[in-house]
Structure 1
Amino acid sequence: AVPLLPLLPAHRLDSVPPERLRSAAFNRAPVGNGPFRLVEQRAGDRWIFAANDAFPDGLGGRPRLDRLVWRTV
């Protein structure tokens, strides 16, 4: 079972062998459009996100938190 099935863009990853996906350059520069944006990633330790000031008001607007830290335990 795959709890979170990632969507991978073929136009960026067709040439990357499956065994090299984790180390591919694409994997080190994530793209997103949610209420937070990734500002720092420390492999095996944490991801640090900052509020996305441009998040549309119609979708809830800017988050109330300025920063979110996701720690790996």
Structure 2
Amino acid sequence: MDNVCEYILDKVDLKIKKSVGTIPQHYQEDVEQDIKEKICTSADKIKFEDVPGFFSFVEDQLGEWDNDE
């Protein structure tokens, strides 16, 4: 799961730095580390094995819509 955490952090690192830049400088490093820690902790809880492919998802949704009529 470390790869997932690294991937997510790579994608949001710039946004984290930009957001942390709005708080007092002596808190910035601590807040940045806390945010990254919470992201990694949350990423570990995500189940990626059960994620359907695009076409499976669409077929499932179309089946549900057909049953609603």
TM category, shorter? under 0.3
- Higher-Rg member (1/2): 2
Larger RCO (CA under 8 A, 6+ residues apart):
2
Please report the TM-score for the alignment, with normalisation by the length of structure 1.
0.25
Bigger strand share: 1
Structure with the higher helix share, 1 or 2? 2
